[in-house]
């Protein structure tokens, strides 16, 4: 009786239990709320609802309508964006399936987000190697740590904003033990239409502070694939973060070459401005490079830094000595992020004769809105780099 009667458990903890109540009968629910608010004891009100109630397509497909984009009202069918460029999440999911076919030690772990993290195909292809731990990110990370101790290669795919929930487990169960757990950090940067709670603007800062952790971010789809392979070959905690949305449209290479840990790459050369970029903003930096040259006669060196930790200190220091006007750009908060890492690097080397402008999110929470609009509003796009470069050239 105690196991099947609603409320018995809560009453054992001295809660006044009411329910289950049909949450769609609003008048009844309001009456109950008005009555129980007068009680002086702890109260637990158990309300049940049906996801998508009143809209048949949503009732039949609650998973899809959890975080829905544009759709046809009459049918509920998704209105797909024009174009054939795959999303970063899709590239990640397909690459996981591809690599798992060659290595039976690869395990996928997610927290109630198999569709959102692109792992549906992996789950269908390798069900015995796929684990959805539910809305329990902390357990997922510790579970992955346990898998790593047994020689498996766990890939934990979680949105940046939700990985914050498991910070303690990342620190104590993974990093202190230096276990080879791979963190695929989806929705890194401005997420946009998913709202303020889903923006992934803190991961570069909170992950790079952890000893033993490697942190990187790809500039395009191919580099995402390379970073996954790099992670699988690394004997320690490692994370790569990638944005929401479609990739850049580069041709996907069949051969996936791992990256040397902690090494960036010079993409463009010029002597007036040094632009150090990480992740998606590398594309903005390349666009700014062209605009500066064509419209303002300013030459710039653009570096795809790839790694926030460890930084390519040797490359950054050598370039900073030659080009003292420096811009860093990241889709992350400025506090403790990529730009801060560059400043620390130069300070530790004793370099003082430089002028540096850090482009990133200031000390605020970014609101809901289209990604490109928010990037423009918060000055983390190509135009912002151009303006910062012109200002540096005029001042220094």
For 343-359, write each residue's pLDDT tens digit: 999 999 999 999 999 99
Same-domain status, 112 and 19:
no
> Which helix H or strand E contains 169, and what residues bound it?
helix 167-169
Q: Pairing mode, if any, of strands 273-277 and 265-268?
A: unpaired
- Is residue 1 scored above 60 in pLDDT? no
* 248 is a domain residue: no
Percent of the chain with pLDDT over 70: 97
Domain range for 189 is: 88-241
Tally of structural domains, the chain: 3
pLDDT at 46: 93
Same-domain status, 303 and 188:
no
Same-domain status, 118 and 165:
yes
* 172 is a domain residue: yes
Same-domain status, 29 and 105:
no
* 272 is a domain residue: yes
- Is residue 106 scored above 80 in pLDDT? yes
Using CA atoms, how far residue 327 sits from 71, 145, 392, 393, 396, in Å, is: 41, 38, 9, 11, 13
10 confidence band (pLDDT: 50, 70, 90): confident
* 256 is a domain residue: no
* 258 is a domain residue: no
Beta-strand runs (E) in 264-304 = 265-268, 273-277, 300-304
Same-domain status, 167 and 66:
no
* 260 is a domain residue: no
Same-domain status, 230 and 276:
no
Q: What is the mean pLDDT of the chain?
A: 94
Enzyme catalytic residues = 51, 137, 165
Same-domain status, 207 and 111:
yes
* 251 is a domain residue: no
Domain boundary among 78, 107, 122: 78
Same-domain status, 150 and 178:
yes
Record the tokens describing residue 137, joined without a space: 């990110």
CA atoms of 357 and 98, how far apart (whole Å): 41
Same-domain status, 386 and 295:
yes
* 334 is a domain residue: yes
pLDDT at 212: 98
Domain boundary among 29, 52, 78: 78
- CATH number at 323 reads 3.40.50.920
Mean pLDDT of 194-207: 95
pLDDT at 192: 87
> Is residue 140 a contact partner of residue 156, using CB atoms and an 8 Å limit?
yes
pLDDT at 172: 98
For the chain, give percent helix, strand, coil, nearest 5: 40, 20, 40
Same-domain status, 103 and 19:
no
Same-domain status, 192 and 236:
yes
């Amino acid at each position: 009786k105690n196991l099947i009667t609603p409320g018995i458990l809560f009453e054992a903890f001295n809660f006044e239990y009411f329910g289950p109540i049909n949450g769609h009968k609003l008048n009844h629910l309001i009456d109950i709320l008005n009555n129980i608010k007068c009680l002086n004891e702890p109260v637990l009100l158990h309300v049940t609802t049906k996801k998508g109630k009143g809209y048949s397509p949503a009732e039949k497909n609650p998973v899809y309508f959890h975080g829905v984009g544009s759709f046809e009202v009459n049918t509920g069918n998704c209105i797909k964006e024009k174009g054939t460029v795959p999303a970063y999440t899709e590239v990640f999911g397909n690459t996981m399936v591809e690599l798992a076919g060659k290595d039976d030690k690869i395990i996928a772990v997610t927290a109630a987000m198999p569709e959102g993290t692109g792992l549906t195909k992996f789950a269908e292809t390798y069900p015995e190697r796929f684990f959805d731990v539910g809305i329990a990110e902390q357990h997922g990370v510790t579970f992955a740590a346990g898998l790593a101790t047994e020689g498996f290669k766990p890939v934990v795919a979680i949105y940046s904003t939700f990985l914050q929930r498991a910070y303690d487990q990342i620190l104590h169960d993974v990093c202190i033990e230096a276990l080879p757990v791979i963190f695929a950090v989806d929705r890194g940067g401005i997420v946009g239409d998913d709202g303020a709670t889903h923006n992934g603007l803190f991961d570069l800062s909170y992950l790079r502070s952890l000893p033993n952790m490697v942190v990187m971010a790809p500039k395009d789809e191919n580099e995402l694939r390379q970073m996954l392979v790099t992670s699988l070959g690394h004997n320690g905690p490692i994370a790569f973060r990638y944005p929401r949305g479609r990739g850049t449209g580069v041709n996907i290479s069949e051969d996936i070459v791992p990256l040397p840990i902690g090494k960036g790459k010079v993409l463009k050369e010029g002597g007036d401005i040094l632009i150090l970029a990480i992740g998606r903003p590398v594309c903005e930096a390349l666009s700014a490079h062209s605009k500066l040259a064509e419209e303002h006669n300013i030459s710039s060196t653009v570096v795809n830094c790839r790694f926030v930790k460890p930084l390519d200190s040797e490359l950054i220091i050598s370039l900073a000595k030659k080009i003292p006007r420096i811009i860093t750009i990241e889709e992350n908060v400025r506090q403790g992020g990529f730009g801060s890492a560059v400043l620390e690097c130069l300070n530790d080397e004793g370099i003082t004769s430089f002028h540096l402008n850090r482009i990133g999110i200031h000390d605020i929470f970014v609101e809901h809105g289209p990604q490109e609009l928010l990037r423009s509003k918060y000055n983390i796009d190509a135009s912002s780099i151009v303006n910062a470069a012109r200002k540096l050239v005029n001042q220094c």
